[in-house]
């Protein structure tokens, strides 16, 4: 029997790409399965590269994996703190699209049976749509098993009146530690993501956690060998089952639609090709990562003092991150220390946009200073590049703790600091040149235990998709469970 899943990713480029990768894997592994991916309007007009990527997806649609762009004419411009409202505003459009699909399939011979929705972590309001049609819901969690387990534990503590937020600063300054069943060591309260330190954001995440429990299971972008302790908690029976199907990476980015980016890409990779193996430290902080002039000078000073070759993807902070992504400095000579370019011209290169996957794949890269976005962490592991953790927003403080303290797969730039780039930009703490230099020196140590562990984990990531590999087995188990859970529409 043929069956179909309807995927609804969160409208952000990182979430969408991961969703597409897991959808591709599923249709490759299961010939009876087809997938429809509903692409919702992006908040505040979209992200860099999003329109080209979506256009490429639409052109690649076929009978078994097709993409439907939900009408964007009345796109919302919700603030990040109101992303749940933005998704709720798309519910009528999704309901209409699904109703049409159900109607079309009812009149077509040999049409597939809709087996359920696969929802992004921020699209839980779509559970109600699935319920209306009598379809089960599954979660696709784009981040780590560790942060998923943390969401459940905080929600449980909150409902038992054992965790709440009175004043955010008290928690940010706290020396207390929490014991999470998904971690092997105590977790510092001050390292909690800002969303769990803010009264308003906490309530939203608690609500999301409750809705997670309504689902039939979770596809998680991780591998069993990377997060065994967190996955053991998720498989304990207190929550729906987890299927670790990662690492899900968008590696095929050779075809650049933007000619100017294609030229920059060639220039960057050409420069890297001239550098010795594992000699270059790469600094890149994602599409949201930008710095003020003072922080930029501290980074420059650290790089120069370290003496290591470097490739630095530098962006200025956004004056209003809700409405504008970070951009490039208009005159770097005025921002960076006097004479910086002259003194580092033989060993360093400062760029704006970076083809991150292609850079990490280059043998010249010896270390990666990153904001700890989960996709970036998985990419670095895939290519065997050790990382230095510098989290800036969202769940990245947790990712940093897990990679540095829990798993020993990264080094730290600084253990604790205040601020969140998205929600408390004006209070971002300056990290000093001394702290950055110390982290880079540790990162680039060639015979370090961290580098050896990363190499071993890289091999495990590749093995996960081979015959008998853990992620391949998890994909097969997910498909089996989907077929068991299929019910007739109301």
Kind of pairing, strands 218-220 and 410-412? unpaired
pLDDT of residue 78: 42
Is residue 221 over pLDDT 80?
Answer: yes
Residue of 214, 80, 39, 84 whose CA lies nearest to 139: 214
Overall average pLDDT of the 282-305 stretch: 96
Give all domains of the chain, ordered by start, each with its CATH number.
Answer: 3-250+464-483 (3.40.50.2000), 259-460 (3.40.50.2000)
Range of weakest confidence among 97-106, 288-297, 419-428: 419-428
Residue reference for tokens 């409902």:
159
Continuous segment of H or E residues that includes residue 82: none
Continuous segment of H or E residues that includes residue 35: strand 33-39
SS3 288: coil
pLDDT of residue 415: 80
Residue of 435, 446, 337 whose CA lies nearest to 390: 435
Residue pair 362/385 in contact (Cβ under 8 Å)? The answer is no
Q: What is the pLDDT of residues 311-320, one digit of tens each?
A: 999 999 988 7
Compute the distance between CA of residue 226 and CA of residue 228 in angstroms, rounded to an integer: 6
Predicted TM-score (pTM) of the model is 0.93
SS3 441: helix
Residue reference for tokens 């692409």:
39
Overall average pLDDT of the 279-294 stretch: 94
Compute the distance between CA of residue 461 and CA of residue 458 in angstroms, rounded to an integer: 5
Is residue 489 over pLDDT 50?
Answer: no
Residue pair 35/4 in contact (Cβ under 8 Å)? The answer is yes
Residue reference for tokens 């095929």:
252
Helices 374-382 and 13-29, packing angle to 10 deg: 50
The neighbour count for residue 9, using CB atoms within 10 Å, is: 27
Q: What is the pLDDT of residues 378-389, one digit of tens each?
A: 999 999 999 999
Q: What is the pLDDT of residues 2-20, one digit of tens each?
A: 999 999 999 888 899 999 9
pLDDT of residue 417: 76
- Cis-peptide into 260, omega within 30 deg: no
DSSP letter (8 states) at residue 291: B
Residue pair 233/465 in contact (Cβ under 8 Å)? The answer is no
C-alpha of 25 from chain center: 18
Q: What is the pLDDT of residues 46-63, one digit of tens each?
A: 565 678 889 899 999 999
Comparing 172 with 376, the larger pLDDT belongs to 376
Residue 220 binned pLDDT confidence (cut-offs 50, 70, 90): very high
HSE, CB side, 13 Å, CA atoms: give it for residue 7. 32
Overall average pLDDT of the 208-233 stretch: 96
Q: What is the pLDDT of residues 456-469, one digit of tens each?
A: 999 999 999 999 99
Helices 199-212 and 145-159, packing angle to 10 deg: 100
Q: What is the pLDDT of residues 164-216, one digit of tens each?
A: 887 666 677 788 899 999 999 999 988 898 888 888 889 989 999 999 999 99
């Amino acid at each position: 029997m043929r069956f179909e899943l309807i995927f609804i990713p969160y409208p952000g480029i990182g979430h969408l790409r991961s969703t597409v990768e897991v959808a591709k894997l599923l249709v490759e592994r299961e010939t009876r399965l087809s997938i429809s991916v509903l692409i919702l309007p992006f908040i505040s007009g979209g992200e860099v590269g999003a329109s080209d990527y979506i256009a490429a997806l639409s052109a690649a649609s076929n009978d078994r994996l097709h993409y439907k762009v939900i009408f964007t004419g009345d796109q919302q411009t919700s603030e990040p703190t109101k992303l749940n409202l933005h998704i709720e505003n798309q519910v009528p459009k999704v309901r209409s699209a699904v109703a049409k699909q159900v109607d079309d399939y009812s009149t077509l011979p040999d049409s597939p049976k809709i087996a359920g929705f696969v929802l992004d972590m921020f699209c839980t309001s779509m559970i109600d749509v699935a319920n209306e049609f009598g379809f089960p819901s599954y979660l696709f969690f784009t981040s780590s098993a560790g942060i998923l387990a943390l969401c459940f534990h905080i929600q449980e503590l909150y409902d038992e009146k054992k965790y709440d937020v009175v004043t955010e600063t008290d928690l940010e300054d706290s020396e207390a530690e929490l014991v999470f069943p998904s971690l092997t060591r105590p977790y510092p309260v001050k390292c909690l993501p800002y969303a769990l330190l803010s009264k308003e954001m906490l309530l939203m995440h608690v609500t999301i956690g409750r809705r997670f429990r309504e689902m039939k299971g979770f596809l998680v972008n991780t591998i069993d060998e990377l997060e065994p302790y967190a996955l053991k908690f998720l498989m304990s029976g207190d929550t729906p089952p987890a299927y670790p199907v990662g690492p899900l990476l968008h590696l095929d980015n050779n075809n650049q639609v933007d000619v100017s980016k294609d030229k920059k890409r060639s220039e960057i990779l050409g420069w890297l090709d001239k550098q010795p193996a594992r000699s270059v430290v790469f600094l890149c902080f994602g599409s949201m990562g930008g710095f003020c002039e003072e922080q930029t000078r501290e980074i420059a000073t650290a790089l120069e003092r370290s003496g290591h070759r470097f490739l630095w993807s530098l962006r200025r902070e956004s004056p209003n991150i809700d409405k504008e992504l970070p951009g490039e400095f208009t005159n770097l000579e005025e921002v960076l220390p006097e004479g910086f370019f002259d003194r580092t011209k033989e060993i360093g290169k400062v760029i704006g946009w970076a083809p991150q996957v292609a850079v990490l794949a280059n043998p010249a890269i010896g270390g990666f200073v990153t904001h700890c976005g989960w996709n970036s962490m998985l990419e670095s592991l895939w290519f065997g590049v050790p990382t230095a953790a510098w989290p800036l927003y969202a769940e990245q403080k947790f990712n940093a703790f897990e990679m540095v303290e829990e798993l020993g797969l990264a080094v730290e730039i600084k253990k604790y600091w205040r601020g969140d780039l998205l929600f408390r930009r004006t209070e971002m703490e300056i990290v000093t040149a001394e702290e950055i230099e110390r982290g880079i020196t540790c990162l680039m140590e060639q015979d370090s235990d961290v580098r050896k562990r990363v190499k071993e984990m890289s091999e495990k990531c590749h093995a996960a998709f081979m015959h008998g590999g853990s992620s391949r087995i998890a994909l097969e188990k997910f498909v089996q469970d989907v077929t068991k859970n299929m019910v007739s529409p109301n």
